[in-house]
Amino acid sequence: MNIFVFGNGNIRFSDFIRYYEKPLERYILLNDSVFTVCDFKGVDTLVMELLKWDAAQVSVYHIGERPRYLPDKYKTKVSQWKLMGGYENDEWRDKAAIESCTHFLAVDFNSDARRKSGTQKNIELCVQLNKIKIEQD
């Protein structure tokens, strides 16, 4: 199981706990879970901070040569993470991350009748590609 975890950059911490930390707890405890994340602010950085102590099997997809954000490696499992870089833009990076996953966890707080967020577009692509949604409790 490879879970791509993504979402908006402007998430409230209380929403992160509710919609991301709680559903991920059971998968973090399983040693066979693999996680895919990107390197933007908000959900991406919070997920990395959540995973750094307990998950060695994490792939961080990023633009350019280095991630924009990566947690401290000292006494954490971050040194075991795979860095998947060289993407030219967010769209290409996100497509690669989606192609690599089997499951996904995402919540969109920003779309409305006038604008569809990147998170919502990625959710729709995951559904179109038959990726399995991790449900919130």
State the 10-residue block means of pLDDT for the chain, 137 residues long: 96 96 91 92 97 96 95 96 96 97 96 93 97 88
Model pTM score: 0.95
Q: Which domains does the chain have, with CATH numbers?
A: 2-133 (3.40.50.450)
User: Which pLDDT does position 137 carry in this prediction?
Assistant: 65
pLDDT for position 91:
94
Quick one: pLDDT at residue 92? 96
Q: How far apart are CA 109 and CA 120, in angstroms?
A: 9
The DSSP code sequence of 25-67 is HHHHHSTT-EEEEE--TTHHHHHHHHHTTT-S-EEEEEESSS-
